[in-house]
Amino acid sequence: MEAQLLMDNIEREILSNRLRSWILQAGKIIREKINDPLVVSTKSNPKDLVTEMDREVEFFFASKIKRFYPHHLLLGEEGYGHSELNKTDTIWIIDPIDGTMNFVHQKQDFAISIGIYHQGIGEIGYIYDVMNNNLFGALRGNGAYKNNVKLPSLEKDDLSLDESMVSFSHRWLMKNNFVNERTMQQLVRDVRGVRSYGSAALGFARVAEGALDAYITMRLEPWDIAAGRIIVNEVGGITTDVRGKEIGLLERSSVISAHPAIHERLVKRYLRRAIKRGVR
C-alpha cells in the first residue's frame, strides 16, 4: 500500500519532509564526529575507501526506512539494503557518504546522497553537502531547491563551450584504458575551465545550481547517480551515459550530466570520439 501512496502528493510531501529531517540529523552526527580518529579500510582497490562513518550513516537510514516504510526497498552502497530489488516498487537508493576520500583527507566536500524511485521514476532526490550545511533537493515536477531557495531553470540560458565550466577526472588526461586522452585534452582547451571535486553527488549538485556546466565521469554506481539526476532534471539539465543514452536505474554506467545547451555537443564532438571499448 505504501508504495502506491508515494505517488500521492501529500504522502510524497510527508516522506520528503521526513527524509529531509533525517538527513539533517545524520549530517549533524557527522559534523560532531568529524575530528574523531577514523578507522579506514579499503574495498575494491586501495583507493576505494570506507570508514565506520559510511556504515553508521547508512545503518541510520536503513533503520528509519525499516521502521517507517517497511514495504519499501533499499539499495545502499554499504550493504544494509535488500539483495532482491524490483524496479516497480518504491526503492531508496543511498550513498551515505559520497566522496569518502574527501571525508578522510579533507574533512569537507563530501555529501549524503539519497534518491527515491517509484516504478522506476525518480520522485525525490536529496544531496547534502554536510560541512557547508547546503541541502539540495527536488521533488519530481516541483523544481529543485538549494536550502529553501528555488534553483533557476537552466533552459532559458544559451551557453557556448568556450564559456563553460566542466568537471572530469584528471586521470582522463593521462594515457589510460578508457578514453583517448588527446580528445579529452582538446576538451580542456575548448572550455573555459575544468574542475575536479571528488564527489559525484556534489558534481550533480553543482550542475544543478549552475556552478558547473557539465559533470562527466566514466564509471558510477547507481547510488552515485540516483539523487543527482532527479535534481538536475528538475532544472532542465540532461543526464545520460557518455554515448548519450539513458541510464538504467540499477546500472553501473558512465555519466554526463550537463546544461541542455552543451550536452549534445559534448557527447558528439568529444565523448563518443574519446571513449574506448569497454566503457558503458
Is 240 an active-site residue? no
Which of 137, 198, 228, 237 contacts ligand IPD by CB under 6 A?
198
Interacting residues toward Ca ion by CB under 5 A: 77, 95, 97-98, 224
Regarding 213 and contact with ligand IPD (CB under 6 A), the answer is: no
* Distance linking the first and last C-alpha atoms of the chain: 36
What is the rounded CA–CA span in Å between residue 129 and residue 30?
11
**Binding partner of 199, given Ca ion, ligand IPD, none, CB within 5-8 angstroms per partner class:** ligand IPD
- Contact window for ligand IPD (CB under 6 A) among 58-66, 92-100, 140-148, 269-277: 92-100
Angle CA 21–98–176, to nearest 5: 160
Q: Which is nearer to ligand IPD, 17 or 132 (CB)?
A: 132
Q: Which residue's Cβ has the minimum distance to ligand IPD?
A: 200
**Cα–Cα distance measured from residue 99 to residue 53, given in angstroms and rounded to the nearest whole number:** 12
SS3 146: strand
User: d(Cα 135, Cα 153) in Å, to the nearest integer?
Assistant: 18
**Euclidean distance between CA atoms 132 and 106, whole angstroms:** 13
Site string for ligand IPD, 99-128 (x = CB under 6 A): xx----------------------------
Q: How far is the CB of 98 from ligand IPD (least distance, A)?
A: 4
6 versus 225: smaller Cβ distance to ligand IPD: 225
Of 134, 114, 92, 77, nearest in space to 201 by CA: 114
Verify binding: residue 200, ligand IPD, rule CB under 6 A: yes
Interaction between residue 76 and ligand IPD (CB under 6 A): no
- Candidate segments 34-42, 94-102, 116-124, 272-280, binder of ligand IPD by CB under 6 A: 94-102
Half-sphere exposure of 128 (CA within 13 A, CB side): 23
Q: Which residue in 224, 241, 256, 262 is the catalytic one?
A: 224
Radius of gyration (C-alpha) of the chain in whole angstroms: 18
Check: CB of residue 224 under 8 Å from CB of residue 218.
no
- Strands 111-118 and 121-129, by their bridges, are antiparallel
Comparing CA positions, the residue from 229, 202, 230, 211 lying closest to residue 132 is: 202
State residue 175 phi and psi, 5-degree precision. Answer: -60, 125
Active-site entry in 54, 58, 78, 98: 98
Catalytic-labelled residue, pool 95, 129, 234, 241: 95
Closer to Ca ion by Cβ: residue 79 or 193: 79
| Binding of ligand IPD by 199 (CB under 6 A) | yes
User: Does the footprint of ligand IPD cover residue 95 (CB under 6 A)?
Assistant: yes
Among ligand IPD, Ca ion, none, residue 198 binds (CB under 5-8 Å by kind): ligand IPD
* Residue 95 a catalytic site member: yes
Q: Judged by CB under 6 A, which of 123, 209, 224, 234 binds ligand IPD?
A: 224
105 close to 34: Cβ distance less than 8 angstroms? no
> Does 246 participate in catalysis according to the annotation?
no
Pairing of strands 214-220, 165-167: parallel
Contact 18, 12 (CB under 8 A): no
Applying CB under 6 A, which residues contact ligand IPD? 95, 98-100, 198-200, 217, 220, 224
- Residues serving a catalytic function are 77, 95, 97-98, 100, 224
